[in-house]
Amino acid sequence: MDKERIDEAIELLWVLNEEGHNGLNRFRLSSEDDEIDRLIQILKAEGLATVSDDKIQFTEKGHKMAKALIRRLRLAERLFTDVFEMRGDSVINDACKMEHILSEELTDSVCTFLGHPQTCPHGKPIPRGECCKKYKIDVEPVVTRLSEFEVGSRGKITFIVPTNASRLSKLNSLGITAGSIIKLIQRKPSYVIQVDETTVALDSDIAKEIYVKKTA
């Protein structure tokens, strides 16, 4: 059976558990898989779940696998929503694709990049990873929008997400590109940055599209 169908099944079981449901019939009715009974048998055979007294529950192996999948999914949703400002079904669809290809190391990198968020865009908890255990409280994201950067700080532009191609070309002509080192001079009435020996004024819409990593 397709691995993604198995992944979807244990993700569903995780979500139902979060909602306080572990009934086997509830699991059947909530699944969109046409072969749900066969899928349940596979979950049992693979040692991912047990069925007893009309209840379906994770084994330790299944819980660990589901936790990793949910973590990747919800971090991907947060990445697409917060950084790339995607909305609607495209977030869910792309996050579902991404969760199947992210390695554990890359997942931790995304988590650190986002500042170890506790919830997905829908308010559901993101399971904590090894990278999160280093912090007692949430830390600031490694990369922030220029609009949220501290005045007087220096940073390296990591990427730019323009609303249109012409804006990106204009920024490039001003020397504002990925990899450029900038210093934020002021926020109001407009954002003023220093790039090499040049100062450039930007409006708030553009400042929100530039992502910067603070440097020493």
CATH ID of 64-134, from 3.30.565.10, 1.20.210.10, 1.10.10.10, 3.40.190.10: 1.10.10.10
Place of tokens 């407009």: 190
Query: Hey, do 64-134 and 143-214 end up sharing a CATH topology, with the first three levels equal?
Result: no
pLDDT in tens, the chain (216 residues): 688 899 999 999 999 999 999 999 999 999 999 999 999 999 999 999 999 989 999 999 999 999 999 999 999 888 888 777 666 666 667 777 777 677 888 888 888 888 788 898 888 999 998 888 766 555 556 778 898 888 999 998 888 877 777 788 888 888 888 888 999 999 989 999 999 888 999 988 888 888 888 886
Superfamily per CATH, domain 143-214: Ferrous iron transport protein A (FeoA) (2.30.30.90)
Domain chopping of the chain, boundaries: 3-58, 64-134, 143-214
Residue 14 CA: distances (Å) to CA of 93, 113, 144, 162, 205: 19, 25, 32, 37, 39
Q: Going by DSSP bridges, is the β-strand pair 55-58/198-202 parallel, antiparallel, or unpaired?
A: unpaired
